[in-house]
Amino acid sequence: MSSSGALIYIGAPFFIQKKHFHSILTGLDSFMIHHANNPRWMDWTWQHAHSCKDVATLREWLASTGTEFHIPGHQFNEITSSYRMGITPYYFGLIKQYDNTDPIYRQIVPSPDELKILPEELEDPIGDENPARGSRPLKALIHRYTNRVLLIPTAQCAVYCRFCFRKRLVGDTAHNAREEDLQKAYEYILSHPEIEEVILTGGDPLTLGDQALRNILKALDNIPHLRIIRIHTRLPVVNPFRLTPGLGNIITSIQKPVWISAHFNHVAEITETAHQHILGWVSMGIPFLNQSVLLKGVNDSVEALKELFISLIEMKVKPYYLHQADMVQGTSHLRVPQQHGLELLRKLQGELPGYALPHYVLDNSDGSGKIPLQNQWVTTI
């Protein structure tokens, strides 16, 4: 076999083609990371530990690509004082154009536009903690819908997306759940037999270690009336090495069905590495969904969305939701008008099979839940 077609072993049942492995590292050859020659590049904990978290590191990473970072240090600190930055080396390696025209760069590199906060933008844009609804009875639990709850074991993420609707919470260790917080959440779920599904969210649950996740999943598995467990995570996108066979075995050891909901926003994120790691878990019987956010300059075209959704289907991931971007403070430069979103979905309906079309939804700011926006253009023939 030629060197370009050779396979690199990354832990059964995962292999990636050498040509694809090197392609995702393009631009990092002169960088501080020894990429292909670094024995820990494919170690998810190494990726997590070596993420870019400050302006000095960002300048160094960009300088290695021949690019300057033009935001002054004091302005960068002002932007990140309210919402920190985090970029894994792997995800940085997906950037092709080192400015805001690149769909990866635009999602994770802080921008001066974030300092512009509109009157209608909210600190809690989907009403997670609306006092009138009482939807957050515990530190680690949100109960917005009668038959399902959100469990938040950690506020930490692998990357900090600039459009995040929980930017007021994520990255702050004060919001991490302690063991006593988790125990109270389990007791709450046990005492509410109407709860059929628990959704692990955060932060990102997959930033936790295997043992912590095993403990959480086992505790939920022991609740008789619980029927489904879902894990919302960005790691298949920004650090797919986390999808190890070991963690896959933990998930498949649970008696209740466990669904993974990933968060791909652009086809550039669907690398051979991500593809093979997801297929590895799918082959173990772990089902995948995907939730995307409609973002200006990232995926707000028929071509971008069509390629994203078809590529998701190719790796056996069901496009589930396309979210209208929430009214998060400092994100007006990333929001797409709803009317444009509706027009995109109208055109996509004729371009894609039904199973490749996600629900286009908006989260209500009062905490009452999601509104299916595409219902506005369904007409009787």
Among residues 365, 358, 287, the alpha carbon closest in space to that of 323 is found at 358
Mean pLDDT score of the chain: 89
Q: Do residues 96 and 207 both lie within one domain?
A: no
Q: Do residues 269 and 363 both lie within one domain?
A: yes
- Containing structural domain, residue 190: 141-377
Catalytic residues: 144-145, 148, 157, 161, 164, 166, 326, 363, 370
- Whether 134 is covered by a domain: the verdict is no
Q: What is the pLDDT of residue 34?
A: 44
The Cα 260–Cα 158 span in angstroms is: 16
pLDDT per residue as tens digits for the range 69-98: 999 999 999 999 989 999 999 999 999 999
Q: Do residues 178 and 282 both lie within one domain?
A: yes
Q: Do residues 94 and 203 both lie within one domain?
A: no
Band of residue 221 on the pLDDT scale cut at 50, 70, 90: very high
Q: What is the pLDDT of residue 1?
A: 31
Torsion angle, alpha carbons of 249, 251, 254, 258, to 10: -150
Q: Do residues 97 and 177 both lie within one domain?
A: no
Q: Which token pair is 87?
A: 């970029």
- Whether 230 is covered by a domain: the verdict is yes
Q: Do residues 157 and 301 both lie within one domain?
A: yes
Q: What angle do CA 251, 252, 253 make, to 5 degrees?
A: 90
Q: Do residues 178 and 86 both lie within one domain?
A: no
Q: Do residues 38 and 169 both lie within one domain?
A: no
Q: Do residues 84 and 148 both lie within one domain?
A: no
Band of residue 25 on the pLDDT scale cut at 50, 70, 90: very low
Among residues 267, 340, 333, 319, the alpha carbon closest in space to that of 104 is found at 267
Q: Do residues 256 and 343 both lie within one domain?
A: yes
Q: Do residues 158 and 302 both lie within one domain?
A: yes
Q: Do residues 110 and 147 both lie within one domain?
A: no
Count of domains observed in the chain: 2
Band of residue 21 on the pLDDT scale cut at 50, 70, 90: very low
CATH number at residue 235: 3.20.20.70
Q: What is the pLDDT of residue 36?
A: 52
pLDDT per residue as tens digits for the range 155-194: 999 999 999 988 878 888 888 999 999 999 999 999 999 9
